[in-house]
């Protein structure tokens, strides 16, 4: 992973490898900044009194620290381990893993075009990083909206290769919600009306909607989307389309979310 900047900013969270632990503190290298050295004073290792520092940090450990101070002239970076909670640590580690994966994907893109990783980063990687702030975000965007990559003014061969590699390797996170729909029609051809009404509920270009028969008059309606807000809205719209369609033929529909008993 190439260094993203010469030095981190104060307040940044950084991924570090512990190299040397002393009674007065621990020395680390910053993985994202070319292996620059940082130092965690024993008072910043953990809350409260630290009797044995190795109870909290040890050589070879991968940790997440908060940057307390930076002296670029002397090359000193002061770090705190105790100011990073578990949630922030997990998020930062996942971000770091994503960027490592993105570097590998850029290397694959370069291979397709006969370029080394360094050449690829110099030619397009640095620009993409400045535009998106993250290489992984570029590949995510190329998966969901490839046209947006074209707007960056890159050569078509780079756009095509990035999009191809993204679609082959990026699996976007998703959430699923569902509920039970009861739908009835008193008409003699009510089954046909119900089928047609249910089909209207499947109409969406943005998310995956599935409707499964449970047992008359119940159907399970499920929506899979990238986030809960989108899923909730799409589920609401789907049920509304079904309800409108069946009511026009004299039928009725009611819906309950899964958690409702």
Query: Does one domain contain both 50 and 102?
Result: no
Query: Does one domain contain both 117 and 130?
Result: yes
Which CATH number is 186's domain given? 3.30.70.1130
What is the distance between the alpha carbons of residues 81 and 38, in angstroms, rounded to a whole number? 11
Inside any domain, residue 156: yes
Write phi, then psi, for 213 (nearest 5 degrees).
-75, 130
- Reported confidence tier of residue 4, pLDDT bands at 50, 70, 90: low
Query: Does one domain contain both 96 and 163?
Result: yes
pLDDT reported for residue 2:
53
At residue 171, does pLDDT exceed 50?
yes
Q: Which residues contact 118 (CB under 8 A, 6 or more apart)?
A: 2
What is the distance between the alpha carbons of residues 249 and 254, in angstroms, rounded to a whole number? 15
Say which DSSP state 188 is in.
T
Which CATH number is 117's domain given? 1.10.150.190
Last residue of a domain, one of 120, 147, 169: 169
What is the distance between the alpha carbons of residues 191 and 128, in angstroms, rounded to a whole number? 54
Q: What are the E-state strand segments in 24-71?
A: 25-30, 36-41, 62-71
Domain that holds residue 128: 87-169
Which CATH number is 65's domain given? 2.40.50.140
In this structure, are residues 252 and 242 in contact, taking their beta carbons and an 8 Å threshold? no
Average pLDDT over residues 161-186: 89
Average pLDDT over residues 86-110: 92
Query: Does one domain contain both 181 and 153?
Result: no
pLDDT reported for residue 258:
63
Last residue of a domain, one of 169, 190, 224: 169
- CA-nearest of 178, 184, 185 to 220 is 178
Query: Does one domain contain both 248 and 189?
Result: yes
Write phi, then psi, for 203 (nearest 5 degrees).
-75, 95
Query: Does one domain contain both 95 and 151?
Result: yes
Enclosing H/E stretch for 168: helix 156-169
In the chain, the N- to C-terminal Cα span, in Å, equals 50
At residue 205, does pLDDT exceed 50?
yes
Say which DSSP state 123 is in.
I
Q: How many structural domains are present in the chain?
A: 3
Query: Does one domain contain both 185 and 145?
Result: no
Query: Does one domain contain both 198 and 247?
Result: yes
Inside any domain, residue 228: yes
At residue 182, does pLDDT exceed 60?
yes
Inside any domain, residue 224: yes
Inside any domain, residue 75: yes
Q: Which of 29-33, 100-104, 127-131 has the lowest mean pLDDT?
A: 127-131
Last residue of a domain, one of 84, 106, 131: 84
Inside any domain, residue 3: no
- Reported confidence tier of residue 59, pLDDT bands at 50, 70, 90: very high
Share of the chain above pLDDT 70, in %: 97
Inside any domain, residue 138: yes
Query: Does one domain contain both 165 and 179?
Result: no
């Amino acid at each position: 992973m190439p260094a993203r900047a010469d030095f981190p900013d104060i307040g940044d969270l950084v991924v570090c490898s512990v190299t040397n632990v002393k009674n007065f503190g621990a020395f680390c290298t910053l993985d994202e900044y070319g292996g620059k050295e940082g130092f965690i004073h024993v008072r910043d290792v953990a809350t409260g009194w630290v009797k044995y520092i190795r109870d909290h940090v040890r050589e070879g450990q991968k940790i997440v620290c908060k940057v307390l101070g930076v002296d670029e002239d002397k090359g000193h970076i002061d770090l705190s381990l105790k100011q990073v909670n578990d949630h922030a640590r997990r998020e930062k580690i996942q971000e770091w893993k994503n960027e490592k994966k993105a570097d590998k994907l850029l290397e694959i893109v370069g291979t397709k075009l006969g370029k080394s990783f360094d050449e690829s980063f110099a030619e397009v990687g640095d620009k993409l990083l400045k535009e998106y702030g993250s290489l992984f975000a570029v590949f995510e965007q190329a998966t969901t909206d490839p046209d947006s990559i074209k707007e960056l003014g890159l050569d078509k061969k780079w756009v095509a290769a990035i999009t191809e590699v993204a679609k082959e390797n990026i699996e976007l996170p998703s959430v699923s919600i569902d509920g039970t729909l009861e739908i009835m029609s008193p008409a003699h051809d009510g089954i046909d009306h119900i089928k047609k009404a249910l089909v209207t509920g499947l109409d969406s270009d943005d998310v995956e909607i599935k409707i499964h028969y449970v047992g008359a008059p119940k159907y399970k309606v499920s929506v899979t989307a990238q986030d809960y807000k989108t899923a909730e809205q799409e589920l609401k719209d789907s049920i509304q389309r079904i309800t409108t369609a069946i009511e026009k033929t004299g039928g009725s529909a009611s819906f309950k979310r899964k958690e409702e008993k």
